[in-house]
Amino acid sequence: MSWYNEVEYIRKQAKKNNEFFSNSLPMIASENVLSPLCREMLISDFHGRYAEGTPGHRYYEGCTFFDRVEEKAMELAKKLFKCSYADVRPTAGTTANMAILKALMKPGETATVLDLANGAHISFGKWGAAGVRGINLLSYPFSDEEMNIDVDGAIKLIKKVKPKLALNGRSVFLFPSPIKELAEAAHDVGAYLVYDAAHVLGLIGGKQFQDPLRDGADVMSGSTHKTLPGPQGGMIVSDPDGDTDEDKSFLRKLGFGVFPGVTSSYHLHHVAAKAIAFAEHLEFGEAYAKQIIKNAQSFAQSLHEKGFKVFGEKLGFTKSHQILLSIGPGKGREASKKLEDAGIVTNMNTIPGDKDPLNPSGLRLGTPELTRLGMKEKEMDEIAEFYKRALIDNKDPKRIKADVKEFRKDFQELYYCFKEGFRGYDYHELI
């Protein structure tokens, strides 16, 4: 019996996926697209190889060339984030968080966090990595008006409970967090401050957001595939003030948390692609991050003017790549499906006050991929009109989808990456 038909079925679905996204408006804030050079690394021979340990200290032979790649990836990461320590082995942002929690906390110890309903990432919730580690979690108070941690309340909480870690992990990240104030309070009680930059890593690397390590964070984790447009994966960076035994011990703990803590071999082809993404971001990241934020702010303003309730109005809606909409009680899922039928890809999201994450009242929108495709402020206003037609005017989604497809025809090339020797990015060429 031949399984060829099953293989063809899988390939057909992949091709359909490529076609769907090439004709749609991808606006999920946690997604992006790879450059040609990054994609080349993913199909290299690194894909099938193992490299446990660190360069020069392996449990396998045959790692000579990969050692050079990992060393270069760490070197580029240190330049990008102006730090002295970088670990590029975590296979996801959540894996990076798990490694930090394993390194710096014991089960039963206390950490302060942002509540999931207020925009925290699930890895810092009781159902995620923090829960797996058995950590006692206490939530910061939150300002709905400012869409941010309540600084005074958070400082009081940290000083009262004296946590082992003060965590800052966010999935809805409209504005910079009050890291200087929280770090000072954490350090006063002997705690470390951990900054999860998963969503805003590329904005930080592009010098357009806050600078957590300079603001006082002891360690920063991140995802390498969101506003930093690399392969799916994670990383950890830190920049201790000195070279004391305490600093060395701290970094050894972080390294041990990654391996053997939460990784074995660690997707070598992704590490190679990360290295290229770091180099491309050193070259193009500042311009890219600036345009991402300009687009997000322009899009939020257009949505507001067209009748949508956009969070963060008091502060200009957003200073990141994200926009958060209130759609109506429990209507987030319905709205996201309507938009998908109209060729716009988003995700439902909880907003302040929501209790049921499966039936939320909002949408979370992002501009990284649209920006990567060359769109600017003018296009954001046109896209906001598509949203109005779909969700306020209740127009036929099939008609909107046809118009979206026509709109996308002019945006098939990829920007903010090295393209010498390559044709423009084309979804259809992936398979």
Q: Nearest CA to 427 among 17, 9, 13, 38?
A: 17
For 79, other C-beta atoms within 10 Å of its C-beta total 14
Report pLDDT for 419.
78
Report pLDDT for 421.
44
* Cβ atoms of residues 88 and 73 within 8 Å: yes
For 65, other C-beta atoms within 10 Å of its C-beta total 12
Q: Which residues, including other chains, have CB under 8 Å from residue 243's CB and lie 6 or more apart?
A: none
Report pLDDT for 152.
96
Report pLDDT for 169.
84
Which regions in the chain score pLDDT beneath 70? 1, 420-431
Q: What is the pTM for the complete model shown?
A: 0.94
Amino acid, single-letter form, for residue 281: H
Report pLDDT for 424.
43
* Cβ atoms of residues 70 and 51 within 8 Å: yes
Give the side-chain half-sphere CA count within 13 A for 115: 19
Distance CA 390, CA 232 (A): 31
Distance CA 350, CA 333 (A): 10
| Sheet arrangement for strand 322-326 | 309-310, 322-326, 362-366, 347-349
CA 104 to chain centre: 23
Domains defined along the chain, listed by start? 39-274 (3.40.640.10), 285-430 (3.90.1150.10)
Using the CB atoms, write b or e for 308-340: b if 16+ within 10 Å: bebbbeeeebbbbbbbbbbbeeebbbebbebbb
Distance CA 38, CA 414 (A): 13
